[in-house]
A = this chain, B = another copy of it.
Amino acid sequence: MATIYEVSKLAGVSLATVSRVMNNNANVSDRTRQKVTAAMQELGYRPNSIAQSLASNCSNSVGLLVSELQGPFYGPMMSGIENAFRSQGKHVIIAAGHSDAQREQQGIEFLISRNCDALILHVEAISDDYLITLSKDKIPFVLINRYIPELADRCITLNNQLGGYLASKHILEHGHKNIAYISGPLWKKDAQDRLAGHKQALTEYQLDFDEALFYQGNFMEDSGYQGFKQLYQSPKPFTALICANDEMATGAMAIARELAIQLPEQLSVIGFDNVFFTRHTYPKLSTINYPIHDMGRMAADWILANVYNKNTVPLQTLFEPTLVARQSVIAIK
């Protein structure tokens, strides 16, 4: 591989000059620039990005930590992020944290050891304290789907409470009064907020929240399955079910069908997230849109602006969910 040294020799200029035309930075005369460019072409020169990183103290890489590489939620987020960075010549290094505090921490350390210029973190289990401490290090990072007051400006979040409210309101508007709710694990802030939104809507409609119609799941399909089974066995009847995410809604629909419940005639169901497979369920699942792709893009923009000093779109940290009404919610008879 040709080096900058060979280019400079062939072009009859100094290293510094070659470096300048590469970064088309300083003032280089047209004539010189041409000579250098020609030499590069002739040698098929490609700058060594590692050497550039070492000399400039900038690796042009950003670390991305997600809970899972698979599953419907993170794909669109990664996609938005990769896109934004690649067009700017930055690359993204991925790691999975598996919603486990220790593995998340290992992931972060791994990414740091890779000399990333910045981090995008979708972490769930790691403590606020750890992140606050981390923010005192020199490595910049942005948080997706997590709000820590001390780090407010780098938290890109969804208004989960509003989402929960919209879901419940949609159900309530269809005349349902006996509504079951399967939540996410309540140690997670988003699960809490979605539930809070639900309660808010209930209050608005002068309905009481009924513990007997509540089940705490873990955001995974199977807990929707188990949750529904349990709720169904309770003496309380209900005509609608709100699930705090689409995966649990899918699990619930599966068991409902096994129990020979007609959907949506006998039971209206609504999910949350609007992952792509909600289009594949039958009936098509009504849900709340989580603009995760855009939020990923925004995280990338934040870093482009704050770390790489690029001009980007105006930064935004709070995103709004919207209702996606499909066919799984119908008016009560």
Contact = CB atoms under 8 A, between A and B. Distances in A.
A129 B53 CA distance: 33
Contacts of A254: 279-280
Interface residues of A, number: 44
Interface string A38-52: 000000001111110
Interface string A248-289: 001000100100000000000000000011011110000000
Contacts of A114: 49, 61, 91
A94 B78 contact: yes
A69 interface: yes
Interface string A82-111: 110010000111111000000000000010
A229 B236 CA distance: 44
Given A46-B113, A92-B93, A115-B48, A71 B75 contact: yes
A123 B86 CA distance: 18
Contacts of A281: 280-282
A70 B76 CA distance: 5
10 closest cross-chain pairs (CB), A and B: A70-B75, A277-B277, A282-B282, A69-B79, A69-B78, A50-B53, A70-B79, A50-B54, A250-B280, A70-B76
5 contacts: A68-B75, A69-B75, A69-B82, A82-B95, A91-B93
